[in-house]
Structure 1
Amino acid sequence: MLSRSVLLVVLLLASIMSSYAIALAQGSSTTKGPRVETLTYVGVTTTDKGIKGVETGEFDAFMWEVLPDDLEKAGADVSKLRLIPALRFFDVLDINAYSDPNEMGVCGLATRPRDGVVVFNPFAIREIRFQLNNLINRKYISNELLKGGGEPAFTYVSISHPAWRYIKDVADMLGLREEGNELLALQKIREAMLNASMCAQKFGYSIASERDPSTGRDVWTLTRPGGSKEPIKIVLLIRIEDERRLIGDYLASQLERAGFLVERKYIERAQFRPLVRSAEPRNLDWHIYTHGDTMIRSIWIHEEVGWYSSEFASLPATGGLWEYTAEHAKALGDFVQEKLEAIARELYRGQVKDLEDYWNKVREGTYLGIYQSLRVFVIGIRNFYVVNPRVKDMVYSPVFGITIEWPWRTALTPDSKIRVALYASTGSLFLYEWNPISGVGGVYGSYIWYYVRDYAWLRHPSTLEPIPVRATWRVTQNDVNVPTTAVMYDPAKHSWVNVPEGTKASYVIDINFKLGNYHDGSPQTLLDILTNFAWYIEWAFKSGDDDIWYHPNIESDKYIAEDVAGIEIINSTAIRVYGNYGLFYSLDETATYYLDYLWPSWNPLLRLAFEYVVLYKGPVSGAKYGWLTGEGERTLDAMNPNHVGDVAEALRIIGRGGYTPPHLASTAKMLEEKGVRVQDLAKATETLAKFITEHKHMAVSNGPYYIDKYVPEQMYVELKAFRDPTYPFNPDYWLKAFEVSQIKVAGVIKAPTILVVGYSAEVEVPILKYVIFPDEGT
């Protein structure tokens, strides 16, 4: 009977543990929103100030990756800091590979549009780009320059990423080593330069290595048809805020060893967009930029191949400026880029037969990407984020540290305030303007936007798998006939239309949304969800010369119109999507693709007001607005108080019916026909107009915090907890969702001294819950 007694105790413990877990998951608070009342971001102009500020308690966290060297230089007392490790960043060389798309361009010759002068671009020659991989010693950079603070990287993911095992031998296949091969690189670069000279001589140009009197070194020189000569100069844009300065200087020295004259142009964060992404690459004002970015936050790394594709990344510019496209490559006799672009497209489109085919395509795309070397990956950065120990219950990622969407959703401090320092040496928090096409001002804007908006889904901080947030879903993979009662937005007709008979779909995604109010108090409804969806399709397609609702930066989103076969309205919070895009290896990842186009980050009424002022000028100021820099007198900026008046009046015009774009009007009409009540636009637009006027910004969304105050000259942004009763999550919800704990039996309080066969026995034991993550303790 002893075993029966033990079983009773075990069952009793299991019952207690189960009840306890359910109570924790449900939470008991009726308060909604995050666990603290204010979340403040403050810019600091030196890393020392950020580190020491966390140590002294002026700040609770420093959102800048620091190396052990930085802590030592700042004189930090590490015992007063909590160090959160991360390996989220990598450094990569962005290459400007422009040359003329003709026979001269094959030789590396390029005509600058600015002045019509013909110059030679070494990096238009694939072999020279590729030899950068051998010219640099990644092991030296990691061990010596970064003092062990990095991992050599040849691709978008480095050794610590869970998907590394699938592509780790690709660099070996190309003969690349972590320590590089400087002698081989110098030899191959010289051969490529001499071959380029032979090619250029057909057009009256020649290239030779000659003594440069200003440096006393042999440098490569271009001689033009008229006999004029000039050294072939490489302009290297070097970021100065972090390890990229060391890497840039090292690269410059190596390029000088290869015989090039190098201009080291040191730049800061705020100069990146105007000098790189928004500058005309054909003018060759720069050749290499020391780019830093974040590692992919998924086990599925097809984005890795996308980094080498002009369709899915910037090679090297945006906004309709020149890129190294498959068409440009073919004009130079390069057909590799076309194949690479096709592989990237197949991976992004889910056009793979099975998992083996998926990883084979990833490997082939990675191989071709390194071979082309339009981007040269250098190093993955091991670093730390510093946090004050007073911050408790902070959910973070073992790979990405605190730069994810979770920490300030779960963290708690004694005074219910969190102050975060941001390193902004230029005196400005944001790189560029906030709007739905431009983005949210760069990396710091993204950090803030993480908490201002909510998401339909997010990635688990540890597993990186998608988890539901403001939507739940069920995906079935099965070829079905789409019912003719389903609808789809047609950009040519600027209207929702019924799906024609015989339409097929491969995936069915049932979605239920957790709706609530926006920060201004107006309700979120299915009209917002489907207007948001229609907005993407409308702006992605140019259906004629007179189509005003189009922008080239949105054009890449046009695939959603092909992927969605139809949408059925289930009720006021639920829809069924019939789709032909899917990742058979992850139905959750399949759902996220569709959710990203449905769930609005911005209040959709703001999108409509923004587009109004872009299309018709500011109704108050009369100023012409543009989505991007250079498109108008003003670049629309949701964080610029001077733009609020125009947008507020545009909202009122929409509310009065003075502007009813088809993606709004047809969505409202379709929902009413389906029996779904839509909100009163006059009331909703007025509520929103009052909110943005009062708060002097237009970054309005539906997340756990709202922006209450922004003082740009002080680099200060203050967020307050969103306590609206319609917000679906109470303060402890996400903490309990991620909590990792153990139940321990801590001794025996009471137990019988004798166990009699045939009789039950009671044993009283204390049960302790020991939390392992995010903070250890009982």
Structure 2
Amino acid sequence: MSKIGLGATALLLAGIVAVVFLRPEVTAPDEPSGRVGDRGVVGDPAERTGALVDQIVFTQESDAGKVAGLIESGTHHLFGQGVSNTTVFQRLRDSERATYALAYGSSMELTVNPAGPHLASGELNPFHVPEVREALNWLINRRYVAEELYGGLAVPRYLALNTVFPDYARLADVARALELRYQHDPERAARVIGEEMERLGASRENGEWRYQGEPVRVSVLIRTEDARKRVGDYVANLMEDLGFDVERLYRTAEEASRIWIAGDPQAGRWHLYTGGWVSTVINRDLAENFSYYYTPRGRPEPLWQVYAPDPEFDDIADRLQRRDYADWEERQSLMTRALEMSMADSVRIWVVDLLNVFPHSRDIVVAADLAGGISGSRLWPYT
């Protein structure tokens, strides 16, 4: 499966810049050439395979904006973490000394806390209700996020399938129908959320939702290191416009992981989190995504243990994870139903797939996976 939660592992993937010392060219001391098995003149770099380096020195640089300059100056050769900064991308694209590799395996989603309906403090959690979570799909303008907040280095994503992976292409007709069903419709989102809030016993007074006399709080946990800060503010603004009392929690990866993945969701410290994932390989079979992302079987952390999927959805997700189907047609039928039910469940709202840029010097050749890039590439040790 090779999925990495950006929130849980960002410390390990902090911006790594590599300095590469190349092995100098040598000439063969009176060695005869032309023997069976010879690949050319001994010591000729053009005829060798494998890495031609004596040493790789790693340094840490948290400011991606400095990376192009470091590479262009010749002091560094490679930045090991993907960059989604449009300014950096444009500079790399126009640079004579720096270039880049592209990867398509990263995604950004809105992780939802479904605990409740009442949290430990007695507060109401609207996102315990599946219909409220589902309505978030209509509320968020994914194209705006991709084009404006990510500067075009992203594409809208609605489903639990990476948009550049084979299963998405195989189910393109199903995917497109669901994308049309859940396209941006803020009026519908507001109507559905309002109806469900009233069913929960809340009332709207002077434009604000209140429950048992108190404002209904929504805490948005916002990552600060990348474009997710802008996405988090965008989502927080949407929730405020709907009449919720919004708390914005700006946190780094380490700080956020203590809350959303290590903490008890019933404690109610957060409701929405700007999450991210990396798929480190182009996976031809995403059937287990439903079990991984939507059921308690996915991960052992507390958040996953409060997931309570519809029994039919849970059974389908389990069957797909175990490859329990008779033939390809049955698999595709199960995948179709799982996609439909995952949107109704929506414990996570997929927002965009990212185009990550991995900067490096034009003087080196490095292996980059189409999904994992450089930092996630299994080819890295063999570069």
TM range (shorter): 0.7 to 0.9
SS of residue in 2 equivalent to 1:256? helix
* Corresponding residue for residue 209 of structure 1: 204
* Corresponding residue for residue 144 of structure 1: 148
From 180, 189, 193, the equivalent of 1:189 is 193
What is the CA-CA distance between 1:362 and the residue it aligns to? 2.1
**Residue type matched to 2:237 in 1?**
S
Alignment of 1:19-98 (within 5 A): 35-67=52-84, 69-71=86-88, 78-98=95-115
What is the CA-CA distance between 1:76 and the residue it aligns to? 8.9
Distance 2:218 2:270 in 1: 7
SS of residue in 1 equivalent to 2:263? coil
**1:292 pairs with 2:287:** no
Structure 1, unpaired ranges of 5+? 1-19, 100-107, 198-206, 212-217, 224-228, 330-335, 412-778
Closer, same or farther: CA 386–155 of 1 in aligned 2, 3 Å = same
Distance 2:162 2:333 in 1: 18
- TM-score, normalization: structure 2? 0.80
Distance 1:311 1:221 in 2: 31
RMSD of equivalent CA atoms: 3.1
* Corresponding residue for residue 9 of structure 2: none
* Corresponding residue for residue 269 of structure 1: 253
SS of residue in 1 equivalent to 2:104? strand
**1:219 pairs with 2:208:** yes
What is the CA-CA distance between 1:162 and the residue it aligns to? 2.5
**Residue type matched to 1:195 in 2?**
R
What is the CA-CA distance between 1:150 and the residue it aligns to? 1.0
Distance 2:149 2:182 in 1: 14
Distance 2:91 2:182 in 1: 31
What is the CA-CA distance between 1:265 and the residue it aligns to? 0.8
What is the CA-CA distance between 1:140 and the residue it aligns to? 1.3
From 121, 125, 131, the equivalent of 1:127 is 131
What is the CA-CA distance between 1:74 and the residue it aligns to? 7.6
C-alpha contact 1:134 1:176 (8 A) present in aligned 2 = no
**1:364 pairs with 2:337:** yes
Summarize deviations over 1:359-406 as a string: whole Å, max 9, x none: 2222222221111001110000123110111212x2222343223334
What is the CA-CA distance between 1:57 and the residue it aligns to? 2.4
C-alpha contact 1:51 1:76 (8 A) present in aligned 2 = no
Summarize deviations over 1:160-201 as a string: whole Å, max 9, x none: 22221233344555574575111111111111111111xxxx
Distance 2:331 2:72 in 1: 47
Alignment of 1:95-110 (within 5 A): 95-99=112-116, 108=117, 110=118
C-alpha contact 1:150 1:379 (8 A) present in aligned 2 = yes
C-alpha contact 2:165 2:283 (8 A) present in aligned 1 = no
C-alpha contact 2:92 2:99 (8 A) present in aligned 1 = no
**1:408 pairs with 2:370:** no
**Residue type matched to 1:88 in 2?**
G
* Corresponding residue for residue 453 of structure 1: none
**Residue type matched to 1:129 in 2?**
R
SS of residue in 2 equivalent to 1:41? strand
C-alpha contact 2:296 2:305 (8 A) present in aligned 1 = no
From 289, 306, 316, the equivalent of 2:291 is 306
* Corresponding residue for residue 343 of structure 1: 316
SS of residue in 1 equivalent to 2:237? helix
Closer, same or farther: CA 32–164 of 1 in aligned 2, 3 Å = closer
**Residue type matched to 2:210 in 1?**
T
* Corresponding residue for residue 328 of structure 2: 355
Distance 2:141 2:49 in 1: 53
- TM-score, normalization: structure 1? 0.41
SS of residue in 2 equivalent to 1:291? strand
C-alpha contact 2:218 2:271 (8 A) present in aligned 1 = yes
What is the CA-CA distance between 1:220 and the residue it aligns to? 0.5
Distance 1:279 1:410 in 2: 38
Distance 1:288 1:71 in 2: 29
**Residue type matched to 1:387 in 2?**
H
Closer, same or farther: CA 406–39 of 1 in aligned 2, 3 Å = farther
Distance 2:89 2:369 in 1: 25
Summarize deviations over 1:28-51 as a string: whole Å, max 9, x none: 9xx999653433332213112333
SS of residue in 2 equivalent to 1:120? coil
* Corresponding residue for residue 247 of structure 1: 231
Distance 1:261 1:176 in 2: 31
Closer, same or farther: CA 345–72 of 1 in aligned 2, 3 Å = closer
Closer, same or farther: CA 261–352 of 1 in aligned 2, 3 Å = same
Distance 1:264 1:385 in 2: 31
C-alpha contact 2:282 2:370 (8 A) present in aligned 1 = no
What is the CA-CA distance between 1:53 and the residue it aligns to? 1.9
Closer, same or farther: CA 247–209 of 1 in aligned 2, 3 Å = same
* Corresponding residue for residue 685 of structure 1: none
What is the CA-CA distance between 1:231 and the residue it aligns to? 0.8
**1:389 pairs with 2:355:** no
From 158, 163, 167, the equivalent of 1:159 is 163
* Corresponding residue for residue 378 of structure 1: 351
What is the CA-CA distance between 1:131 and the residue it aligns to? 0.4
C-alpha contact 1:55 1:77 (8 A) present in aligned 2 = no
Distance 1:35 1:347 in 2: 44
Find the structure with the greater CA-based Rg.
1
Closer, same or farther: CA 73–293 of 1 in aligned 2, 3 Å = same
Summarize deviations over 1:250-269 as a string: whole Å, max 9, x none: 11111112111111111111
SS of residue in 1 equivalent to 2:294? coil
Distance 2:138 2:368 in 1: 36
Distance 2:130 2:38 in 1: 62
Summarize deviations over 1:463-486 as a string: whole Å, max 9, x none: xxxxxxxxxxxxxxxxxxxxxxxx
SS of residue in 2 equivalent to 1:350? coil
SS of residue in 1 equivalent to 2:214? strand
Closer, same or farther: CA 320–38 of 1 in aligned 2, 3 Å = same
What is the CA-CA distance between 1:273 and the residue it aligns to? 2.3
From 320, 323, 344, the equivalent of 2:305 is 323
Alignment of 1:108-119 (within 5 A): 108=117, 110-112=118-120, 117-119=121-123
Closer, same or farther: CA 387–350 of 1 in aligned 2, 3 Å = same
Distance 2:38 2:290 in 1: 45
Closer, same or farther: CA 179–143 of 1 in aligned 2, 3 Å = farther
Aligned-pair identity (%)? 24
What is the CA-CA distance between 1:97 and the residue it aligns to? 0.4
Distance 2:92 2:336 in 1: 45
**Residue type matched to 1:48 in 2?**
G
Distance 1:372 1:154 in 2: 13
